[in-house]
Structure 1
Amino acid sequence: MIRIPVSALILVLFSAGCVLNRPEIPDEPAPALPERYAEGHAVRHAPDRWWTAFDSPELDRLIARTLEGNYDLEQALARIDQARALARRSRSGLFPSLDVESAASVSRTRVDDGRTVARDSNNAYGLDLVSLWELDLWGRVRAQTRARELDRDAAVEAGHDLALSLTAETAVRWLNLIHHNRRIERVRAQIEANRQSLELLEHRFGQGTGTALDVLQQRELLAATRALLPPLESRRDTLRHELAVLLGRAPGTAEIEISTPSLPEPGPVPDAGIPCTLLDRRPDIRQARYRLEAAGWDVGAARADRLPRISLTAAQRYGDPNGLDLLLDNWSQSLAAGLTAPLFDAGRRRAEVERARAAAREALAAYRSTVLTAVREVSDALVRETNQSETVHRLSTQLEQSRATLEESRFRYRKGQADYLTVLSALTRTQELERRLIRARFERLSFRIELYRALGGDWMKTATLGRNRS
């Protein structure tokens, strides 16, 4: 008869468990990436807290208030706490449980045989300590625990991704408010200039040196310029409301006034690095990677769930049928082992393995899609900023030429060598270009913020997020 040492049997079972609960994750889950981006000639690295590149204490304060008071971020932080609790709950399955059970009973009896009446009473008390422990031979509990820990890490990265998006949204709305303030100032200046021009034309008409058509055309331009103001003021007010909600305040309860007079200069294009660095810098990619690994561990747990379970039960029982005096003096101990093996479940466990593997394939596709989307976002931001910088340059050149044309047309009009329609056309183009240039400069800055957001970062790991958090 061949005898197998218990230690050797335990070692074999433990090794089998390690094989069974191994996660099903590809060695190279990331898709093929280019060696470098096609666009961008950077001269400096972007700061980790990218908004400091604008060198604006006002923006710094707004972003700090957003990270402290935003309620979407509070929801994300609550989800992180839930994921941490689930991870701790799953880890508790690796350890034995200990429960206490107590019982007390009181009985009274009366026996009447027709001649005598006998009465009796009995008080019984019991106290049990019961410990249960499942021997995780196949690694099912360990796989479930690791999956929940990865879900926790993914929830943390989801919070970091939201924080990154909120900083970008706050900065874009701050810039948009400055942009609208500048456009409103420019439109008001154009209204005043057009009003003065109208007064001069009306004066010339009164003296007989101008025509009624000149006056009517200038009135039309003045009315059209005035019509630009209400939509701009409306959008400025709604931007204030949006910014208040980002800060965690109700519109109207916090006065949002932007004191920065003009749009900041974007500065040199930051270094985008190489595409593969996004795998570590982007929180959404890190989140997708954790989800993928968690799905792989779920497959291992589902496979191990198809195997038998061995559990141990230990009990210490105290009891006294006569009262409490001798409760701890009467006791018994027991240790039992139980084996539970699935014989027939109509394919439920097999179906769970198939579902877990399908979920892992979904997580793998989601991870690869997230990586490709990240590379596209950086590439798009580089292309947009490059082209928008060229647009700003060409609009600036066009505006200079338009102003020169306006001056020449006014000179010729005063000399009687051109009619007022020539002046009006040049004035209309110049004023439109002034407004377009302000808009183009804002769009260039918004594309820069898109680039900063697409590049990701690690600043969220050390930032103070949410209310009353260290």
Structure 2
Amino acid sequence: MLGGCSKKLGEVQAPIEEPAAFSASGTAVLPDRWWTAFDDPVLNELVETALDSNLRLQANWQQFQAALAVVDRESSFLWPQAEVYAGASIDRPEQDFSSGEDLQIGVGASYEIDLWGRIRAGVQAEKFRAQATFLDHQAAAMTLSAETAITWYRLVTTAKQLELAEEQIEINQNIMKLIRNRFASGQVRAVDILRQEQLLESTRDQKIFYERQLQILENDLSVLLGKPPQNELDLPEKSLPKLPLLPDTGLPLELIRRRPDVRQAYNLVLAADRELAQAIRAKYPRLSLDVSGEFVSQSYNDLFRNWAYTLAGNLVAPVFYGGRLRAEAERTEAVKEQRLYEYGQTVLTSFREVENALIREIAQKQSIEVTERRLELAQKTNGQLRIEFLNGMSDYLDVLLGLDEEQQLQRDLLDAKQELLEIRIALYRSLAGGLEMPEIP
């Protein structure tokens, strides 16, 4: 048995091998509100607004409130159940039509003595389930914060891409003017003008794509903030933050104690254990006490003159239920084992998410360095090609291909930096804890 409600997290071990340390770690301390690590006031405001106003998260909170109500409902069986009743009847015989009245007012109470802790086990199961529901709310809040951060920085990157596209359109238009002037003097061919027009139209198409994507991302952000997407968002000037220092990933066991989704799976194991205890104890005898007091009379005037009371004790022991109680115990034991394996899978998934984020960040930083070097070389090459072209030493096709590659590398570099931010957000989300656990009465 896993025991009662006061047991600690470490008393249930996930059915996995002893985990080694994470492959990489930094020195920065990750705050509970992980998004503040970016030192971005706009992001801080957006995430706080989403946590306060997102409708999906509010619905998740109401689910937790419903779970607390279930705890109160199950806890009520630990107390005596009392009822007040009243009744009246009239008897009219057919022979003499004389009437007789029977009036009664009484109170009754019953109480099951929880000899074996069956009722307490049920209450404890609901408490663990309520804690799991709250932790599910925490996990949803962390997911919402990550979605908000990713959407915001995608929006910022798209706005930067739109600005870059407009700059590239202006550059391509200026080059087009230069080519037309040289064509008039017979220095270039007509096909060079057509190729430059193709590049110009391709850049304009990029601009249309980014304009559309910007509107879609604004709509996504509005819904995350709990606002209608057709309403205009008042967003400040957009800028990408500097990537913070790599956080301290800590020990794997610390991650198990910190992550809300892992703690949720753990509490579901404890809830299943308490349900198993409840099912086993349902096979034991039950002792209950019944008390009732009653006023009975045939007239209203004499109603409170005569009264009677009864006190009874009942001992009920299951004898033959067709194997129903045994089957229920077997079912709850299987559910407990299921929850334990699900808990282990959740732990493994949390380890994988951290490891994958660390691997991806290292590789992405290397990829950005390569892209930056490629862009630098492309800019130098294009500068040299333009000089040669102006001096009649190089064909315009070389200039065109170099220009196209340079502009594509500029766009790729922006996307790569945005992806690096998303990878860091995924790492923060994988390491993030949650809010304080409320006291379940």
Q: Please, which of 29, 32, 37 is the counterpart of residue 53 of structure 1?
A: 37
Compared CA separation, residues 385 and 452, structure 1 to 2 (3 A): same
Larger displacement relative to structure 2 (196-205 or 386-395): 386-395
Identify the residue that residue 17 of structure 2 maps to in structure 1: 32
| Paired residue type of 2:288 | S
Alignment partners' CA distance in 2, 1:297 and 1:48? 31
Gaps of 5+ in 2: none
Q: Which residue of 2 aligns with 1:304?
A: 281
Measured in 1, the distance between the counterparts of 2:310 and 2:148 equals: 65
TM-score (norm 1): 0.88
The amino acid of 2:415's aligned partner reads R
Q: 1:160-184: per-residue Cα shift (whole Å, max 9, x none)?
A: 0000000000010000000100111
Other-structure match for 1:245: 223
SS at match of 1:328: coil
Quick one: distance in 1 between partners of 2:236 and 2:248?
30
> In the superposition, relative to structure 1, how do residues 411 and 385 fare at CA in structure 2: closer, same or farther (>3 Å)?
same
Q: How many correspondences in the alignment?
A: 435
What is the rounded CA distance, in whole Å, between the counterparts of 1:152 and 1:22 in structure 2?
A: 15
2:390 aligns with one of 406, 414, 418: 414
- Do the aligned partners of residues 203 and 19 (structure 1) sit closer, same or farther apart at CA in structure 2, a change above 3 Å counting? closer
Q: What letter matches 1:39 in structure 2?
A: A
Matched, 1:423 2:399: yes
> Which stretch has the larger CA shift, 234-243 or 166-175?
234-243
Matches within 5 A, 1:168-317: 168-253=146-231, 255-317=232-294
Counterpart CA distance in 2 for 1:150 and 1:156 is 10
**Aligned ranges for residues 367-386 of structure 1 at < 5 Å?**
367-386=343-362
CA contact (8 A) 1:21 1:301 kept: no
Moved more, 151-160 or 62-71: 62-71
Distance 1:158 1:21, change over 3 A: closer
Residues 21 and 138, structure 1, Cα contact 8 Å, conserved in 2: no
Structural mapping, 1:14-29, within 5 Å: 27-29=11-13
Kindly provide the CA deviation profile for residues 189-216 of structure 1, in whole angstroms up to 9, marking residues without a partner as x: 1111111101110111012222212212
State the structure with more CA Rg: 1
Contact kept? 1:302, 1:352, Cα under 8 Å: yes
* 1:356 equivalenced with 2:332 (yes/no): yes
User: More deviation in 99-108 or 172-181?
Assistant: 99-108
Give 3-state SS (helix, strand or coil) of 1:166's partner.
helix
Distance 1:183 1:20 in 2: 57
Whether 2:87 is the aligned partner of 1:103: answer yes
Deviates more, 1:47-56 or 1:268-277: 47-56
AA in 1 matched with 2:423: F
Q: Structure 1, unaligned stretches of length 5 or more?
A: 1-17, 112-117, 463-470
- Paired-residue identity, %: 34
Matching residue within 84, 93, 112 for 1:134: 112
The range that moved more, 243-252 or 147-156, is: 243-252
Q: 1:52 to 1:26 in 2, by over 3 A?
A: closer
**Structure 1 residue 334 corresponds to structure 2 residue 310:** yes
The question of whether the paired residues in 1 share the 8 Å contact of 2:285 and 2:317 is answered with yes
Conserved? CA contact 2:109–2:292, under 8 Å: yes
One-letter code aligned to 2:114: D
Pick the aligned partner of 1:318 from 295, 299, 309: 295
Matched AA of 1:211: R
Report the residue type matching 1:284 in the other structure.
Answer: D
CA contact (8 A) 2:146 2:425 kept: yes
- Name the stretch that deviates more: 143-152 or 42-51: 42-51
TM-score scaled to structure 2, two decimals? 0.94
**For residues 260 and 201 of structure 2, what CA distance do their matches in structure 1 show?**
50
Deviation sequence 1:243-289 (CA, Å, 0-9, x none): 11111122103x12543332111121111111111112100011001
- 3-state SS, counterpart of residue 32 of structure 2: coil
For 1:435, which of 411, 416, 423 is the aligned residue?
411
Q: Residues of 1 paired with 2:70 and 2:391: CA distance?
A: 84
Partner of 2:27: 43
CA distance in structure 2 between the partners assigned to 1:146 and 1:265 by the alignment: 47
Q: Which residue of 2 aligns with 1:120?
A: 98
Deviation for aligned residue 1:141: 0.7
1:224: how far off? 1.5
Name the structure 2 match of 1:12: none
